[in-house]
């Protein structure tokens, strides 16, 4: 089975030695995305809601570059700086994954890169 590195300018560049995503013959594995604006590499202004929206827009761009979409996501992992932000994150998340949402794990973490409040990674099927 071959793997292909996915890179798009429509999502923030990797801030370390990793790929935005890896595509295999049938699956896509994304790196975690934080709420960075692709053009500036800076966190979006606002709180967890704005960052969650940007994270999911970034994930959408990476998945589309890989030949898939949010509709084909089968599993996500959400990392929150503060579990008290769960209801706000969940509300935004539901707008992106309404009907037939993917499986999901959500965990609280001590810190995220660049001071982010939320990070999400995804596993998706090829479209």
CA distance 99 to 27: 21
pTM equals 0.96
Confidence class of residue 9 from pLDDT cuts 50, 70 and 90?
A: very high
pLDDT at 53: 98
- Residue 54 to residues 4, 49, 93, 99, 127: CA-CA distances in angstroms? 25, 9, 11, 20, 22
- Ordered domains of the chain (ranges, CATH): 4-125 (3.30.1330.40)
Give me the pLDDT at residue 48, please.
98
Q: What is the pLDDT of residues 74-113, one digit of tens each?
A: 999 999 999 999 999 999 999 999 889 999 999 999 999 9
Q: How much is the pLDDT for 46?
A: 97
pLDDT in tens, 31-77: 999 999 999 999 999 999 999 999 999 999 999 999 999 999 999 99
């Amino acid at each position: 089975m071959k793997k292909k590195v996915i890179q798009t300018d429509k999502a923030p560049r990797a801030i370390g030695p990793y790929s935005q995503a890896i595509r295999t013959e049938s699956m896509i594995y994304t790196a975690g995305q934080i709420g960075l604006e692709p053009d500036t590499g800076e966190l979006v202004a606002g709180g967890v809601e704005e960052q969650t929206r940007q994270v999911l827009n970034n994930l959408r761009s990476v998945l589309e570059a890989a030949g898939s979409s949010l509709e084909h996501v089968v599993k996500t992992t959400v990392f929150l700086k503060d579990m008290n932000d769960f209801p706000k994150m969940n509300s935004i998340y539901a707008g992106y994954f309404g009907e037939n949402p993917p499986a999901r794990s959500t965990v609280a973490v001590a810190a995220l890169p660049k001071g982010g409040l939320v990070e999400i990674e995804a596993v998706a099927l090829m479209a």
